[in-house]
Amino acid sequence: MIPEIQPSILRQEMLCAEMQGRPCGLIVFGASGDLARRKIVPSLFALFRRDLLSPHFYFLGCGRSEYTDVQYRQAVREAMEAEPSGTGNAERFLSSFYYLSGDYTDASFYEAIGGRLNELDRTHKVSECHIFYLSVPPTLYGSITEHLGAAGVNRCGRSVCEYLPRLVVEKPFGHDLASATKLDAQIHRHFEESQIYRIDHYLGKETVQNILMFRFANAIFEPMWNRNYIDHIQITIAESVGVEHRAGYYDHSGALRDMFQNHMLQMMSLAMMEPPPSFDAEPIRDEKVKLLRSIRPLQIAGPWNSDIVRAQYVSGVIDGIGVPGYLQEKDVGPNSQTETFVAAKAFVDNWRWKDVPVYLRTGKRLAAKRTEIAIQFRQVPHSLFASVGLDDMPPNVLVLKIQPEEGISLSFQAKRPGSKTCMSTLRMNFNYSDIFGAQAPESYQRLLLDCMLGDQTLFARQDDVMVAWTLLAPVLEAWAQEEFPLYEYPAGSESFAHADQLIRSDGRQWRSLRPS
C-alpha cells in the first residue's frame, strides 16, 4: 500500500522545489583565471550533482591561455580534485567542456566563437540559448561587448526568440560615476537591460536571500520594523585577511569601491526596503532602488566633521602571528593612499526610517572575519525592575549572520533559575549548518542557476548601480583632496579611534567582532 502523504508534508516539498536550469551554453571569458577555477566551475559541478544543470548544457571557455579541449578539461579536473567535495561523475560533467583561445581585442576571435557556438548548439541540442560571462578585469568589459555585438552573437538569430543571449558582469561596475555611466552606455549599445546580469556574490548568500522571507513571510517582526521600535542598525563586513593576491586591483580600488558601493549598500537596501507587491524581480528591484534614493547625502563638510571616515592598516598581530602593514604588501605602492577600512553613519529619509542611524563598517586585517546585519531595538520605555537595580535593561538585538556562519540570532531578557530576581540576556541561535546538517551552498550556485532561469531578482539593475555611485561620488571627490585624513589602525584590531567616535558620539558602540 502506498502511504498517504500528509498535506503539510506535500506543501513543504512544493515550497522547497528547485527548477532545473534551461538548456544553454555558458561562454566564460577568462576561463583559465582564478574566479573560474575557484567559484564558477565548482558551483557548476555542484549544480550538476544536484541534477540542476540541464542535460543540454555546455561550457565554452575563452581566454588568452593556449589550451585544447582535452588540455582544458584536464586543467579543470585538477582544480576540482583540490576541492573537498569530491569528483564523482566528473567525467560526464567535463565531457561538455570546451575551450577556445584568442585575443580579446581581435575581431576574428569572436567570429571563431560564433562558429564554435553553432557547432556546440547542434551537438548539445541547444537552441541559441547563450550566457556570456565576463570573468575578466572590468577594463575589458567595453571591448568584449563591442566585439560580441559586431559578431552578432548578442542577438537571437530567429524572428521570435524566447531566450535572448545574456551578459553576466562581475563587480566593480565602473570605478566611479563617470566610468560607470560610460561603461553602461557601451554595454547598452549591444545588450538590453533585460539581458544584463550584474553579479554581486553577497546577494547569493542564503542569509542575504533570507532577509526577504524573514521580513515578509512572518507577522512577528514586520510590524516592528520601523523607527518606532528600532533604535539603530549596524552592518558589518570584517575580514581578517589582507589583500592577498588582489593587491594590484585593490590598490586602485580601496574598501569604498570594493565593498561599500556594492555589497554593503545592497544588504542595506534589502534590510530596509518597503514590502514589494510580489516576489518577482522587478518589484523587488524597484523597492531596493527607492530605498537607495532615500539615503540622505553623507555629510563631508570638512576633514574633521564627516559622516564617513577611512583608514589603512599597519603592521600588527592576528591570531598570535605578526602580519605586515598595507604598504608592505606585494604590489602596493610605497605611498599609497588607498583605504582598507571605511566606517559611515547613514540615514534613510522616509516615513519608516526617519532619524534611525545606520552604522556601516568594512575593513581588512581586522580581529576576526564577520559579516552581519544587526538590528538593535529600542529599550523598554519603563523598567518594572528599577527597585532591584535593573533600571537599565539591555535592548533586544536581532542579528542576521552572513559570514563565517550563516544564520539568525535573537537576544532577549529572561529569568534564570535561582533567586526571585535573577535576569540575564539569553540568545536564540539558528545556524544553517546545525539545522540542515550541511553548510549553505556557495553563493555562485544560486546566481548561476538564476542566470540560466532568467531570474534577475538577485542582480543589480542599471539605476541601482547609478544611484549607489551618485551617493558616493562626493566622498570620492573629497578624499582626493589631501586635507582629508587617512587614519591608521594596527592589523588585528577591531576599529580605530575616529570610527569609534562616529558611533560613540551618539551614545552607542560597535558590536564586537569576536565571538561572544
Name the residues annotated as catalytic. Answer: 263
Give the Å distances, CA to CA, from 91 to 20, 74, 77.
Answer: 21, 10, 9
Distance CA 306, CA 475 (A): 10
C-beta separation of 28 from 76 below 8 A: no
User: ω into residue 404 within 30 of 0, thus cis?
Assistant: yes
Distance CA 93, CA 226 (A): 49
The 3-state DSSP composition of the chain as helix, strand, coil percent (nearest 5) reads 40, 20, 40
**Sole residue written with cell 532568467:** 454
For residue 266, give the C-alpha cell. 545592497
DSSP 438: S
Distance CA 408, CA 428 (A): 8
Give the Å distances, CA to CA, from 255 to 33, 284, 310, 513.
Answer: 23, 27, 9, 18
User: ω into residue 172 within 30 of 0, thus cis?
Assistant: yes
For residue 25, give the C-alpha cell. 551554453
Classify 313 as helix, strand or coil: strand
For residue 293, give every residue at least 6 positions away whose Cβ sits within 8 Å of its Cβ, in sequence order, or none: 467
What is the CA 390 to chain-centroid distance, rounded? 41
For residue 509, give every residue at least 6 positions away whose Cβ sits within 8 Å of its Cβ, in sequence order, or none: 500, 503
| Identity at 85, one-letter amino acid code | S
Distance CA 225, CA 217 (A): 13
Distance CA 289, CA 295 (A): 10
Q: Is the dihedral of CA 206, 212, 217, 219 positive or negative?
A: positive
In 183-299, beta strands by DSSP E: 196-199, 230-238
At how many degrees (to 10) do helices 443-453 and 41-49 cross?
Answer: 70
| Identity at 378, one-letter amino acid code | R
Classify 294 as helix, strand or coil: coil
Distance CA 287, CA 63 (A): 38
Distance CA 32, CA 61 (A): 8
C-beta separation of 288 from 464 below 8 A: yes
Distance CA 179, CA 175 (A): 6
Question: Which of 233, 271, 504, 513 lies closest to 395, judged by CA?
Answer: 233
Question: Which of 167, 166, 185, 183 lies closest to 175, judged by CA?
Answer: 183
